[in-house]
Chains A and B, each alone.
Chain A
């Protein structure tokens, strides 16, 4: 494991800090000199209009994109370069804007896939499924069943995810991320395309994850009602630049934020 365990960091202390990060693709500057931090145990929202660089920011955090400038400190360990699998191993899990599950596999198998990094035995052992490998799988399956119970998706356990409605696919994806027992959970638009009831369900799960497992959550969301209700602090990006950072109330009153969302008369 890289870095200290998250348990060494007390709730309310900085879990992840982003310092002066910039990212560009050729001539396009996706993120410009952005700094903010995420404290352990909080729900942190990243909002902004389309193209503000929100998803890019998540991709930087979990190592999918390498920023040209800036420093990222996670659990006290600073790095400028990291691979996604390092991030995963380090305790960062995520869900995607457009659901990225193994479509042909059952909900159960998808969530089991989230346990891959926790498997001690090698591939051969796992294929043979005997002795210690079997015991290990039973233990993992138990943990996965707890997650299935938590997310109330028992009824779709054996259903291939391709046959599930979108809202449930999102829930399975959250389950897979939870299976990694992450310290930091990144959610990219967890409510996109959902109806009101599904949104309420998902909000409740996010709150529960945060409450019960003490998981720190960073989420991107467009539904302002959801963001303001769920999050402890909000950072607002616009055209790759941070324009506001604070509690939902502070952000709501910020003139730059209002301008960014509603447009300004020129």
Chain B
């Protein structure tokens, strides 16, 4: 039982000392420098961190003070985190690519007195905002390049600080005892770290996490995935993101696995291959990019290799997942899969750097079922998890063998999950945050009376699997006139997994039923048209083609069937749809530069179409102003057809096998 697990220590610096005693000769950290992987054992890492802590003490860092950590995944920055914690200070990692303004806000809000930064770029950035940071006194940096001619009164090379600290430790045993006492004085209830949320919804907030809770959460999940000191991970996620601090720093300290820092951000995928981690996390986008690059390179492969690849990928699609899930598979299937593994899957995973991966996670956004099953069919144990900064990431995760592309798994051990009346997911967990830094009001607002934390996400428990499904941000979820839950993004994401559909905008809040406007994907539908001798002269003509409508109607009806599988979403099936005559475009303000649909604006602009969706007409005229790439404006008019879609009754929840 996870709850019976006891941590060998209640703070990370104590864990570090414990690890150095227990398996001091095991590798703790790697970093590729000048083309060669450098390795530090746990004992060496301990010496470096103690040296840095001693050096920082000599520079004047005191208990309770905050220290900004700005930069990429580099050993010396990770050591800075631990060294600051050793002295009872509080590290505050900040996104390295934050612009000066964001950086100024976080550093000022966190009242940092010291900053540990990667290189000249970050030093310059902080110097440029120093007038807004009255408390900031000293900076320490990792990369010396370009900094030689700077005023070094308050600027120190981390390497030199470590050397200075180590010298003092060896020469003065009283000082060494003082540092040891500082570590021993750390309590589990101390603030371990403050992680600032990325601030996509308003000003970013500082999430205060305590040492004992961070360690408790890590213990549970390390046990959940049975991670040990023999595992290895690539630390390439942003330092300031809870994912990196959790997956790499905290889990690494708790389980003792080795984390490898890539040479730089661009080389991460190549380094992945050289390191061959056993534990791997990547957002869905990274998996998609890996697949795209693979497919492009396969196109250039020789005829025989291409044939071989496609044949065995077909085999994997058929048998790969059942084999991974330990389901019955015919003998010929196993044989073919075994052969495919030798000829295709194993070499493929090797190229991707995934050969040794025992556990892989993805999270952050919905992952396409095809993409998800592609990796799983190759034998990669890819799973989904759900969490947020306030929960120290982990709330749910899929256990081995219970994997579904559209769920995020059941609650983890010791995690209490509850769905509020408005559909919002609430939790109480071992790793939950203490408060928002200097923001009592926000903290109270986020907690319920009985001590649960509001995630801000809407979700429900899948009736068949019992897993949690996240459908949307809680504030975006609406209700149909009859009170049925209407999660627009959930429906749109389901639709967008069809290659034919590039963009979908669902309406239904305070309406009688759900209706969608669709953008076709010109590449996918265009190549379909070519194969099926459908002649078209323009995007508009293709979008209005009856055969295209037929095809999309099938896609939507399929989506309706999948929505009907769950009582919660069954009422939100799509009743009517139309295909827009033009692509939603950032130049016209219809989508943001990051390709997110601006729902309200689109609703206003296409009001005649939306009215037609709801008044029962089968066709509507629309005329919109468009902006061409050179900035000229013109008007575009079209008649757009509207179709009805068949819906299915909600699946009965009783009398059906899971």
Contacts and interface: CB of A to CB of B under 8 A. Distances in A.
Nearest to A150: B145
A152 B35 contact: no
A154 B35 contact: yes
> What secondary structure prevails in chain A residues at the interface with B?
helix
Nearest to B35: A145
Contacts of B32: 154
Contacts of B146: 208
Contacts of A149: 34
Contacts of B266: 154-155
B270 to A, nearest CB: 7
A154 B274 CA distance: 14
Contacts, number: 26
Nearest to B264: A154
A34 to B, nearest CB: 36
> What secondary structure prevails in chain B residues at the interface with A?
loop
A212 B34 CA distance: 18
Interface string B79-123: 000000000000000000000000000000000000000000000
A157 interface: yes
A155 B35 contact: no
**Residue from A148, A150, A152, A155 whose CB has the most chain B CB atoms within 10 Å:** A155
Interface string B257-299: 0000001101100100000000000000000000000000000
B122 to A, nearest CB: 15
A142 B33 CA distance: 10
B264 A157 contact: no
Contacts of B264: 152, 154-155
A155 B267 contact: yes
B120 to A, nearest CB: 11
Interface in B129-157: 145-146
Given A154-B263, A154-B264, A208-B146, A145 B270 contact: no
A154 B31 CA distance: 13
Interface in A177-227: 208, 212
A146 interface: yes
Nearest to B149: A211
A150 B146 CA distance: 11
A145 B38 CA distance: 14
Interface string B28-54: 000010111000000000000000000
Contacts of A148: 34-35
Nearest to A159: B270
A145 B36 CA distance: 9
**Residue from A142, A149, A154, A158 whose CB has the most chain B CB atoms within 10 Å:** A154
A135 to B, nearest CB: 15
Interface string A13-32: 00000000000000000000
Contacts of A145: 34-36
Contacts of A212: 145
A155 B34 contact: no
Contacts of A154: 32, 35, 263-264, 266-267
Interface in A65-98: none
Contact of B270 (A141, A142, A146, A155): A155
Nearest to A204: B146
A196 B506 CA distance: 41
A157 B266 CA distance: 11
B267 A142 contact: no
Contacts of B35: 141, 145, 148, 154, 157
Contacts of A146: 34
A142 B35 CA distance: 9
Nearest to B266: A155
Interface string A137-175: 000011001101110101101100000000000000000
B273 to A, nearest CB: 11
Interface string A118-149: 00000000000000000000000110011011
Interface in B220-278: 263-264, 266-267, 270
Nearest to B34: A145
Contacts of A155: 263-264, 266-267, 270
Nearest to B36: A145
A212 B145 CA distance: 9
Contacts of B145: 150, 212
Contacts of A142: 34
A240 B267 CA distance: 46
Contacts of B270: 155, 158
Contacts of A150: 145
A149 B264 CA distance: 10
Interface in A31-52: none
Contacts of A141: 35
A209 to B, nearest CB: 12
Given A145-B35, A155-B264, 6 more contacts: A149-B34, A152-B264, A154-B32, A154-B267, A157-B35, A212-B145
7 contacts: A145-B35, A149-B34, A154-B266, A154-B267, A155-B263, A155-B270, A208-B146
Question: Which 4 pairs, one residue from A and one from B, show the smallest C-beta to C-beta distance?
Answer: A155-B266, A145-B34, A145-B35, A155-B267
